[in-house]
Amino acid sequence: MNLTHAPLRAATGAFILNSGLTKLGADAETAKNLHGFASTAYPKFQSIEPGQFTKMLAVGEIALGSALLTPKVPSAVAGTALAGFGAGLLGLYLKVPGLRQPGSIRPSEDGVPIAKDVWLVGAGATLALQGFFNGARRAGKRAAKKVGSAAENAQDALPF
């Protein structure tokens, strides 16, 4: 993990981990509301029982938050997962009626809490892209060093 990623990973990781831990103890009414909201945007969730859905969501958030908080998890991996999670939340914003102003992408008053999750997509994309490009740059430097070393060895082997 790049040290410059630590503040972003800590902030998003702690927030998402807390959200997941909170959902683990959700009561039946909260589970029903979460399930109904998600099922409106993603009909495939309708076949899952609300309590089971909420536990699965909680476990997913705990896993994502933990990955972001764990320095051994590469930023490219954690960032990709964060961007995917954020994109899922933005899907709710785009698909659930009443979250946007009529005929607009702008949020309604009810949509602001979901629309603000666009920052998760941006943060995840930043971590993923920087992690990927930093890894590619390091791999390129290692390859260039090996090629240089091989060229020196080949030159030393020449008889003249």
Dihedral pair phi/psi, residue 100, rounded to 5°? -120, 155
Q: What is the reported pLDDT for 95? A: 92
Which structural domain range is residue 43 located in? 3-157
What tokens appear for 20 in the block?
């997941």
Q: Which has more pLDDT, 127 or 137? A: 127
Model-level pTM? 0.80
C-alpha 122: how far from chain center: 9
Q: Between the CA of residue 160 and those of 63, 128, 154, 156, what are the distances in Å?
A: 61, 49, 12, 9
Confidence of residue 151 (pLDDT cuts 50, 70, 90): low
pLDDT above 70 for 149: no
pLDDT digits (tens, 9 = 90+) for 59-79: 999 999 999 999 999 999 999
Element containing residue 25 per DSSP (H, E): none
Element containing residue 30 per DSSP (H, E): helix 28-41
Which residues on adjacent β-strands are paired with residue 100?
107
Q: Between the CA of residue 39 and those of 44, 63, 97, 113, 156, what are the distances in Å?
A: 7, 22, 12, 18, 68
- Please count the structural domains in the chain: 1
Amino acid (1-letter code) at residue 137 = R
pLDDT above 90 for 51: yes
pLDDT above 80 for 155: no
Contact partners, residue 55, CB within 8 Å, separation at least 6: 23, 24
Instruction: Check if the beta carbon of residue 65 is closer than 8 Å to that of residue 15.
Output: yes
